[in-house]
Amino acid sequence: MSVQIVNNPYGLGAMLRNGDIVTRSVFTILLIMSLLTWFVMITKFFDQRRLRKQGQQAEKEFWSANNLVDGVAKLKGESNPYRALAEAGKQAYEHHEANKSRLAGSIDTSEWITQALQRTADMVVGRMQSGMSVLASVGSTAPFVGLFGTVWGIYHALIAISLAGQASIDKVAGPVGEALIMTAIGLFAAVPAVLGYNMLLRRNRVIQEYVSHFTHELHAYLVSGAKMSLSAEKPATAAKQAAPAGAR
């Protein structure tokens, strides 16, 4: 029993070879979208991993330092948001104390430090959101770009069939099926973008909780001199977690 091998004249390669500039442009756009999606997902994943480690480092090492200066020095790492927050709080406190005679009547220490920390925290959150719009845009537009490529391919396939005067199923199904490749490519670019966006967004929220918790604890310490505890703890446990003496 012999097996007859039939060469498929249709496919991605044939579509790109025989397609016009619109077909090739749509394919190029979808390819760029897919590459951008994977680049953003990979880079953001490692960025978030770095930020989570820095958050754990801040919780462990910053509050065990002898003073605020030493605590800031212990927060190492590239673009460490916790170091930026600690430095902003320290500078705001020192500036307010140095100009207390002028500022005390209009802005108290707590409000002054709150504004400085809030500005820094907003910048940190803004940097965390970078790249997310790319994933959202690809996830929402790539299927329509692929659909446009499919419609364009079907249009030209039907025109060619009409001019040739052959409307049999073998002459129609091949070109139309080839045009559907664009829709598949659009979905191939969109599905990872949507899944990656949801995953990274969820991880961003966890990191934002780290940043928010650290910001509130730092504010409480700069104002009162004691590390704030957000959970209901026993006095003995809270005493062990108290901020180091002489931090200010």
What is the domain partition of the chain in residue ranges?
12-240
For residues 120 and 107, what is the distance between their CA atoms, to the nearest angstrom?
A: 19
For residues 111 and 96, what is the distance between their CA atoms, to the nearest angstrom?
A: 10
**For 189-224, what is each residue's pLDDT tens digit?**
999 999 999 999 999 998 988 888 888 888 888 887
**Helix, strand, coil in percent for the chain, rounding step 5:** 80, 0, 20
Query: In the structure encoding, which two tokens stand for residue 156, read together?
Result: 């030209």
Query: In the structure encoding, which two tokens stand for residue 160, read together?
Result: 């060619």
Please determine, for residue 238, whether its predicted confidence score (pLDDT) is greater than 80: no
Please determine, for residue 100, whether its predicted confidence score (pLDDT) is greater than 70: no
Say what the pLDDT of residue 197 is. 95
pTM above 0.85, yes or no: no
For residues 25 and 21, what is the distance between their CA atoms, to the nearest angstrom?
A: 6
Residue 194: other Cβ atoms inside 10 A = 17
Amino acid at 171: K
| Cβ-defined contacts of 156-162 (< 8 Å, 24+) | 156/20
Residue 177: other Cβ atoms inside 10 A = 15
- The CA distances from residue 160 to 145, 150, 155, 174, 177, in Å, are 23, 15, 9, 12, 15
Contact in structure between 161 and 175 (CB atoms under 8 Å): yes
What integer is the mean pLDDT of 15-37? Answer: 86
Say what the pLDDT of residue 203 is. 92
**For 55-94, what is each residue's pLDDT tens digit?**
888 888 888 787 788 888 888 876 888 888 888 888 887 7
What integer is the mean pLDDT of 30-40? Answer: 94
Say what the pLDDT of residue 170 is. 63
